[in-house]
Amino acid sequence: MEAVLAGSTPVHHPSFLASSKYIELFLLKIALEPKYNTFMQVKILSWNIWIDSYFDQIKEFLRNSHADVIGLQEVREDDPSRETIKYMNSLGYNNIFSPTEKDWGAKVSDGPAVFTKYEIVSTQKYILSEEGMYTAAQADIKIGDKILHVFSTHLTHTHQKDSVAQLEQAEEIMKHIPSEMSVLMGDFNATPESITIQRVKTQLVDTDSKDQPTWSVYPQGCMICNPQEIDIRLDYIFTTKDIKTHSYKVEDSKGSDHLPISVIVEL
The residue type at 124: Q
Its pTM stands at: 0.86
* Superfamily of 39-266 according to CATH: Endonuclease/exonuclease/phosphatase (3.60.10.10)
CA distance 192 to 211: 7
**Pick from 196, 226, 187: nearest CA to 48:** 187
Helix H or strand E segment including 70: strand 69-76
- Contact (CB, 8 A) for 261 and 208: yes
**Pick from 83, 238, 72: nearest CA to 153:** 72
Would you list the domain boundaries of the chain? 39-266
Per residue of the chain (267 residues), what is the pLDDT tens digit?
444 445 555 545 555 445 667 677 666 665 555 444 478 999 999 999 999 999 999 999 999 999 999 999 999 999 999 999 999 999 999 999 999 998 877 889 999 999 999 999 999 999 999 888 999 999 999 999 999 999 999 999 999 999 999 999 999 999 999 999 999 999 999 999 999 999 999 999 999 999 999 999 999 999 999 999 999 999 999 999 999 999 999 999 999 999 999 999 999
Q: Tell me the longest C-alpha to C-alpha distance in the chain.
A: 98
